[in-house]
């Protein structure tokens, strides 16, 4: 990616929680000339197409905003962005003069988000927190907690609590 500006990553899964993190990043971090990198992690799958097998190991190529907004292209990647996310990123790109791209990884979200930080490389990462209870967090592990403790860049966790 050419040009100046920072590479601001936002972990997105198109949930209300990730939309809150995306909105926070747009309102508080991004500025003219920055690159907004939407990082999506999909569960591992078994792909027969050659390019999908390659992407499973390396992550997708950087997907430009025009393709993020194209349902047919996104379906090919197994991703379905919601209208709210698409509206937010399209408006931010136009009003703030930022470049928006998406990078998709396949596998464990904790590991792949840390990998995205190093491979892109990201200046910072914003991630939502679903606010799992203590028991669920112990059983499932907290993605945001893992990333905060293992990332090589600053990480901001946006809490999902309404209060």
| Residues 6 or more apart in contact with residue 148 via CB below 8 angstroms | 155, 157
Q: Whose structure tokens read 């209208």?
A: 83
Ordered by where they begin, the domains of the chain are 7-159 (3.40.50.620)
Q: For 120-143, how does the pLDDT look when each residue is reduced to its tens digit (9 = 90+)?
A: 899 999 999 876 556 655 554 588
Spatial distance between the Cα atoms of 131 and 109, rounded to a whole number of angstroms: 16
| Dihedral angle sign, alpha carbons of residues 127, 153, 141, 133 | negative
36-75 per-position pLDDT tens digit: 999 999 887 655 555 566 677 788 999 999 999 999 999 8
What pLDDT shows up at residue 156? Answer: 95
The pLDDT score that the predictor gives to residue 40 is: 95
């Amino acid at each position: 990616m050419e040009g100046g500006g920072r590479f601001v990553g936002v972990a997105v899964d198109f949930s209300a929680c990730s939309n809150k993190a995306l909105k926070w990043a747009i309102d508080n971090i991004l500025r003219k000339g920055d690159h907004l990198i939407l990082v999506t992690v999909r569960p591992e799958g078994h792909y027969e197409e050659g390019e999908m097998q390659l992407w499973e190991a390396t992550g997708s190529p950087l997907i430009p905003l025009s393709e993020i907004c194209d349902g047919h292209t996104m379906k090919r990647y197994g991703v379905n962005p919601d209208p709210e996310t698409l509206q937010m990123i399209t408006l931010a790109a136009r009003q703030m003069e930022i470049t928006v791209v998406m990078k998709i990884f396949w596998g464990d979200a904790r590991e792949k988000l840390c990998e995205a930080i190093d491979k892109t490389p990201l200046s910072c990462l914003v991630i939502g927190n679903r606010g799992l209870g203590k028991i669920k967090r112990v059983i499932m592990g907290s993605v945001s907690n893992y990333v905060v403790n293992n990332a090589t860049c600053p990480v901001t966790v946006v809490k999902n609590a309404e209060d």
